[in-house]
Structure formats: C-alpha cells, structure tokens
C-alpha cells in the first residue's frame, strides 16, 4: 500500500518543536551525546538509548545524519524520549562501558574499537543503530538490545523507536510487530473492519443499569500511546479472532484521561486531574495497581475483574487470552497449563 505521508506525523504524539532548532555540521537536529554522558543520565533518570555507530569514511552514515535525523519531528521525538549517542566505531580513545574499558584493536588509521566489535556482535557494518532499554542495575546490563544494520529512513526507524520506547518487545518480536504496524497505518483495506467494531464508552459500560450478557474487554489506551494505536487498529480486527471477540465480549475504549464519574463494584470513581494524578482513579483498579499503557482488563458478566494484561498484545496472544476466558477455561485450569496444552496441539 502506497505511503501518502510519513507515519511520524500521523502516529507519534503531536510535537510542538521550536523553529529555532539548530542543525549540527552534518545537518542532524538530534542532540547527540557521548556514551559516558548517556550512561550517567541513565543512573538518575532512566531512558532508552539509541546509539548510532559510524565511521569517518562512511557515506551512508553522513546521509542518515542529513536526512533521517534532520527530520524535525523525528529528532524532537528522539531528544525527548531517548539518550541519543553517536559513536565512532574507529575511535582511538579508550572507552569505559559497564565497568570495562575498551581500546582500539590495532594501530593505523582504520582500526576498530573493541567496544564496537562487542556491541555490534562482530558484524561491522556502517551505519548500524543499536536500541537499548530497561537497564538492570543488579545484572549491570540492558534487558533489551536490538541492532539495525544499514541506512534507516523515517519509515524504517519509526516502528523501531516505538518498539523500544513503549516496551512492545515484552510480548512480541519485532518482525511480528512491524507487520501489524504497517497494517495499522498503511493498509486502507482495514477501515471497514474498524467500523465494524462496536466500542462502548466507559459510561455506557460501567454506568449501565442493564444486565451484562457478555464478558467485557476494557482497552486502556491514550491518543499519545503509539503501541496502543497499533494494537487497536490491527490486533482487535485480526481475522483469526475478530468474530470470536465480538461474539463473546463487549469492547470498552477506556482513555484514562477522561473525567466522567464511573461506577464499579458499588463505588464511584472520578478523575481529579491534578498534576500529580492526571489519570482516572478507576484506571488503577482495572490495571491491578500496575498501570502500563496499553493494558487490557477482562471482566466477567457480573463486571468482576478477572485479569489485567499489560503492554502491547499481538493477535495470536489475544486469541489465546480471549478463548481462555471466553470459553470459561480459566475456571478449570491455570493459564500456564492452558498455554502448554495449546502448544502441544500446535495452536
């Protein structure tokens, strides 16, 4: 499907960037820092790291600086949410990383630094972009690490940034996510399927005096959560589960920033919208006090909370969840036993 406009403008949350942004000598608007600076900042204010490996003789490295990283919205998104590191793979400096020191492996003009060899896993291609997230202080390592070799234009790097920043990797591999990402934003054939989904508002669901005939899926999401958008526009309409979900569940589109008063289990919940607490109080109850975007809360016919599943959910995973609760399996066996049986059956 032909791309009409870069996803950076229709997907990422609205960014009001300054027109006074100054590009560096290579045309990049990204505010690059050293690896040492990024690791120091991570100690007190954790963020994911995006690390650009380059060499002085690499033409595509310079092109990526002058094109991809010169995009104002993309650069601002990176500056606000990541610690961006620009690393010369042939630096002559000795570099310290996670308590170890790395020096050039040889002498001469073009010798690779040992840290580049380590982080690039001996695959010395430039440019290469490394995405890191969730630094574990006890293990002294990043839980998430992903390499992307070669030149990345906007369309290639955008889903990688979301995948890293919003912890999509916890429930999904990148290739699977990228497929759903493209479907969600660049496949116009899904528009009719989206219209067929009957999303209820929180007031329609929680404040209704009618008896609920179905179980309920409450999709907690916001307009600025990009993984939420991908999940809403692809997972719920997947042909492998859409009809089953519509048959067995009511779907509730729950934006935690709403201010409506909602009744749940005999208690009224509201949203004081203070600077310290901008989200609806019911959000935390539905998320079992572990509020992460997106979260899927599952309620039975009596509106009792059965479970809450955090982070992005791909179609096969939601299919398993839907059948586990929709077929009443949860009353008979633990989730782990159910999944093990499904794997043995090849489902």
CATH number of the domain to which 24 belongs: 3.40.30.10
**Rounded distance, CA 154 to CA 71, Å?**
8
Are 150 and 221 contained in the same domain? no
Which of helix, strand or coil describes residue 85? strand
Residue 283 CB neighbours (<10 A)? 22
**Domain presence at residue 101:** yes
Q: What is the pLDDT of residues 145-172, one digit of tens each?
A: 999 999 999 999 999 999 999 999 999 9
Whose tokens are 């045309």? That residue is 27
Domain around 160: 7-165
Q: How many CA atoms lie within 13 A of 252 on its CB side?
A: 27
**Domain presence at residue 149:** yes
pLDDT at 106: 82
Are 161 and 193 contained in the same domain? no
Which of helix, strand or coil describes residue 42? helix
Beta strands 295-299; 215-220: pairing state: antiparallel
**Domain presence at residue 172:** no
Beta strands 128-136; 49-54: pairing state: antiparallel
**Domain presence at residue 171:** no
Handedness of CA 143, 65, 44, 172 (dihedral sign): negative
Are 210 and 84 contained in the same domain? no
pLDDT at 20: 57
Are 40 and 151 contained in the same domain? yes
Are 150 and 11 contained in the same domain? yes
User: How confident is the prediction for the chain on average, in pLDDT?
Assistant: 92
DSSP 8: H
pLDDT at 300: 97
The pTM of the full predicted model, rounded to 2 decimals, is 0.89
**Domain presence at residue 53:** yes
**Domain presence at residue 176:** no
Number of independent structural domains in the chain: 2
**Rounded distance, CA 179 to CA 315, Å?**
11
Are 157 and 237 contained in the same domain? no
Are 134 and 249 contained in the same domain? no
**Domain presence at residue 312:** yes
Residue 305 · residue 285 · CB < 8 Å? yes
**Domain presence at residue 57:** yes
Residue 318 makes CB contacts below 8 A (sequence gap 6+) with: 235, 236, 238, 241, 245, 296
Residues lower than pLDDT 50 in the chain: 1-18
Closest by CA to 65, choosing from 115, 20, 31, 110, is: 31
Report how far apart, in Å, the C-alpha atoms of 341 and of each of 88, 91, 147, 335, 336 are: 50, 53, 34, 10, 9
**Rounded distance, CA 185 to CA 182, Å?**
6
pLDDT at 25: 84
pLDDT at 79: 97
């Amino acid at each position: 499907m032909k791309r009409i406009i870069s996803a950076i403008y229709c997907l990422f949350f609205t960014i009001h960037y300054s027109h006074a942004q100054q590009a560096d000598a290579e045309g990049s608007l990204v505010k690059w820092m050293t690896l040492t600076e990024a690791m120091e900042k991570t100690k007190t204010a954790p963020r994911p790291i995006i690390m650009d490996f380059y060499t002085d003789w690499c033409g595509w490295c310079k092109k990526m600086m002058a094109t991809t990283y010169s995009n104002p919205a993309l650069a601002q998104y990176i500056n606000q949410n990541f610690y961006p590191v620009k690393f010369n793979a042939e630096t002559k400096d000795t570099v310290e990383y996670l308590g170890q020191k790395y020096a050039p492996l040889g002498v001469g003009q073009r010798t690779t630094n040992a840290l580049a060899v380590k982080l690039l896993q001996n695959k010395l291609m430039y440019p290469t972009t490394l995405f890191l997230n969730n630094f574990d202080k006890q293990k002294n390592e990043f839980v998430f690490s992903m390499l992307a070799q070669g030149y990345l234009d906007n369309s290639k790097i955008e889903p990688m940034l979301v995948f890293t920043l919003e912890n999509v990797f916890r429930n999904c591999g990148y290739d699977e996510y990228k497929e759903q990402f493209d479907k969600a934003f660049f496949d116009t054939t899904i528009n009719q399927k989206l219209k067929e989904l009957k999303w209820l508002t929180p007031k329609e669901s929680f404040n209704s005096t009618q008896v609920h005939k179905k179980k309920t899926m409450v999709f907690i999401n916001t307009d600025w959560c990009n993984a939420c958008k991908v999940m809403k526009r692809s997972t719920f309409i997947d042909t492998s589960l859409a009809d089953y979900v519509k048959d067995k569940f009511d779907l509730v589109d729950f934006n935690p920033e709403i201010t409506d008063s909602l009744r749940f289990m005999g208690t009224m919940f509201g949203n004081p919208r203070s600077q310290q607490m901008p989200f609806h109080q019911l959000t935390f109850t539905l998320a079992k006090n572990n509020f992460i975007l997106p979260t899927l809360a599952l309620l039975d016919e009596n509106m009792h909370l059965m479970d809450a599943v955090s982070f992005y959910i791909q179609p096969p995973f939601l299919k398993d969840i839907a059948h586990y609760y929709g077929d009443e399996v949860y009353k008979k066996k633990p989730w782990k036993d159910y999944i093990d049986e499904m794997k043995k059956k090849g489902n």
